[in-house]
Structure 1
Amino acid sequence: MKTNNTTIELKDIFSNVLNQYNIRPDDISIIQNEGLKTLWKFTNKNQKMCLKRFRHTKEKITFSVNAQRHIYEKGGKVPNVYPNSQGEYITEYMGQLFVLYEWIEGRDLNFTRTNDFNDGIEGLGAFHSISKGYIAPEGAKISSKLGRWTEQYNSMKKRMLKWKDIALTNRINGAYKVYLECIDDIINLCDKAIMALEQSSYEKITTIDLHESSLCHQDYGSGNAILSEKGIFVIDLDGVTYDLPARDLRKIIGKRAEKRGRWDIDDINLILNHYEKTNKLTIEEKEALKIDLMFPHWFFGTIKNIFSKNKQVNPGKIAKIAKLEKEKLAVLNQWKI
């Protein structure tokens, strides 16, 4: 009964929001419903569209929606965003926020398949390249990680040292015991990355106006890249931020290494070869990527679940990710930029 009531409520919300677009939809379906975040797919005059309800603030949505409009208007492969009858791109209804998008016909890229992965990397390069030039409108909460890596690295290092003190109070705990066995090597890795960043051209290449920077997706991968007849489309731009392309590339390369349980210089070079077909990186940008790969982001992400989110993590998983982090220096040292 609860499910039926929820479905009826969602359909009522959907209809009332679309009234603000003067749209009478056909073939309505709810394709995602996770708390406040909801997606409705429908047809309007033979054109497929998607209405999205957000859990973010209006200021945050204003930044990402206008970033998407900027990319689309420059010819980038992202879904179009449609205004309501008042010419607004964000629609408010009962204190909730909605945006209407073009629905892209195609299939999700599967990043575990070689051809899909390679196509996806080329699509990411095109996305980064065409995203430059975005000036956020008034009222937007600007998201930028540009020039903040040193601050981020030091903050993460301090948190891991604080967690070490916590772990020392309960050495019997299996996860804490493994953490204590590897944390000194991890902190040493932090120090190497921080020193390398301070000695690099990072400050020079990030001391620019924000609109000169690329926009990073921050969650690019399977589910956010669609192969259509017109090429690779990037979707779900909710988390876009100003930053170096390395931010997205580091996450992709690291995720591959984590799944394989090893770092591979040939794989890194292969990824960059495909990426640079659509967006050429400078020597300084590659240097920044190498440093960002050096920092133990993956170990931090695993451990954070214990200390910040109060989740249990298998000690074996901690040991495995620590081993992966410690082994990467030898591989990164083979990378001749």
Structure 2
Amino acid sequence: MMREFEIERQFDIKIESIKPNKGVYYLKTDKGERCLKKINYGVQKLLFVYGAKEHLILNGFNNVDRYFLNIEEEPFAVVNEDLYTLSEWINGRECNFKDKNDVALAAEKLAYMHRATKGYEPPENSKLKSDLERWPHLMDKRIKSLDKMRAMGRKRGTKGAFDLNYIKSLQFYKDLGKRATKVLGDSRYMDICRSTEEEKSFCHHDYTYHNIIITDDCVNVIDFDYCKREVRAYDIANFMTKVLKRVDWDIEYAKIIIDNYNKVDSLREEEYKVIFAFLLFPQRFWRLSNRYYYNEVNWAQNTFGNKLDNLISEQDIYMNFIEEFKELYNQVE
């Protein structure tokens, strides 16, 4: 049980009302509306996230959920050994990924954010988070894990619909994974990682609709919990995938994202190949299977089954998109 008076004492506020809201708490306080969030990682990692937001603000990118400091000038409260952060409550609506104008605004904002990340030196007592140079290894490891999960499915005495569909569709996604690994291997990924390291930039790593809040006059980016040193191609491809799966892999939306990103900060030719590799990699299939076979989330059996059915049902339109992307952006395998 969270002790509210500890939050009040440590952040020097008076809570008038509190209610849960999508994994956080909405607070009405004597100092305005606040967002209280329980953090499921340690202080060092939190300080990296705090430093990243402060760096963005220092570089003129102000539309983030900035942390308030406690009475000890720290960006958290400790209550019953749990960490909590307090930030301003941003009143607005979530970005609509089916609306082309919203998608264009979000793509532009992502480019501005990436530009403002450059030169980030994490606080001394923080833990540097980085995925630079890791993707060839991660892709290879995840492709191998697909076979391990198939073995787990085959060992089950009673196979469910998910197991049967997984075994049947595995080869399609393994082949995609191998294609992605080859494309990444043939790209200048390592060079891009080195220049990213030199410019000391970072990525949001979870740039999706519920973390893009649109108000009357601006686009706000929230929840930097997963931010880390990373090539910007990852954020762009990840954002594209999250949009495209909602619009039947319509190439027009991919074009909107890239065109509006380029309006602010042009992508280099070699970055398109890395984006293509990320778009090819069956991340969603791997993640869903991982959650199922390793009990990572507590979903009902039919939820897993439905998600896999949906993924399989989009194979044709997805493959059509891949060919269109290759042609439009001159990608050679």
Match of 2:54 in 1: 69
Distance 1:291 1:33 in 2: 33
Which residue identity does 2:293 align to in structure 1?
F
Q: Partner of 2:277: helix, strand, or coil?
A: helix
**Structure 1 residues 322, 110: CA separation in 2 closer, same or farther (over 3 Å shift)?**
closer
Match of 2:11 in 1: 21
Q: Partner of 1:126: helix, strand, or coil?
A: helix
Tell me the CA shift for residue 245 of structure 1.
1.9
Tell me the alpha carbon deviations over residues 170-215 of structure 1, each in whole angstroms, 9 at most, x when there is no partner.
Answer: 6965433333333223222222211111111001110246472432
Distance 1:286 1:90 in 2: 39
Tell me the CA shift for residue 224 of structure 1.
1.3
Match of 2:37 in 1: 52
**Structure 1 residues 33, 249: CA separation in 2 closer, same or farther (over 3 Å shift)?**
closer
**Structure 1 residues 168, 62: CA separation in 2 closer, same or farther (over 3 Å shift)?**
same
Tell me the CA shift for residue 144 of structure 1.
1.3
**Structure 1 residues 41, 110: CA separation in 2 closer, same or farther (over 3 Å shift)?**
farther
**Structure 1 residues 273, 220: CA separation in 2 closer, same or farther (over 3 Å shift)?**
same
Question: Which runs of no fewer than 5 residues in structure 2 stay unpaired?
Answer: none
Match of 1:317 in 2: 310
Show the 5 A alignment for 1:236-251. 236-251=223-238
Distance 1:216 1:228 in 2: 23
Structure 2 residue 261 is matched with structure 1 residue 268: no
Match of 1:111 in 2: 97
- Determine if contact 1:62/1:141 at 8 Å carries over to the other structure: yes
TM-score norm. by structure 1 comes to 0.84
Tell me the CA shift for residue 321 of structure 1.
4.9
Q: Partner of 1:334: helix, strand, or coil?
A: helix
Distance 1:326 1:222 in 2: 24
The one of 241, 244, 257 aligned to 1:257: 244
**Structure 1 residues 14, 127: CA separation in 2 closer, same or farther (over 3 Å shift)?**
farther
Tell me the CA shift for residue 331 of structure 1.
2.6
Show the 5 A alignment for 1:8-157. 10=2, 13-25=3-15, 27-32=16-21, 34=23, 38-45=24-31, 47-76=32-61, 77-157=63-143
Distance 2:236 2:244 in 1: 12
Tell me the CA shift for residue 335 of structure 1.
2.7
Tell me the CA shift for residue 236 of structure 1.
1.2
Aligned residues: 321
The one of 300, 303, 327 aligned to 2:286: 300
Which residue identity does 1:14 align to in structure 2?
E
Distance 1:14 1:211 in 2: 44
Distance 1:327 1:112 in 2: 19
Q: Partner of 2:327: helix, strand, or coil?
A: coil
Question: Which runs of no fewer than 5 residues in structure 1 stay unpaired?
Answer: 1-8
Tell me the alpha carbon deviations over residues 15-39 of structure 1, each in whole angstroms, 9 at most, x when there is no partner.
Answer: 32232333345x43324374xxx42
Match of 1:204 in 2: 191
Distance 1:283 1:147 in 2: 19
TM-score norm. by structure 2 comes to 0.85
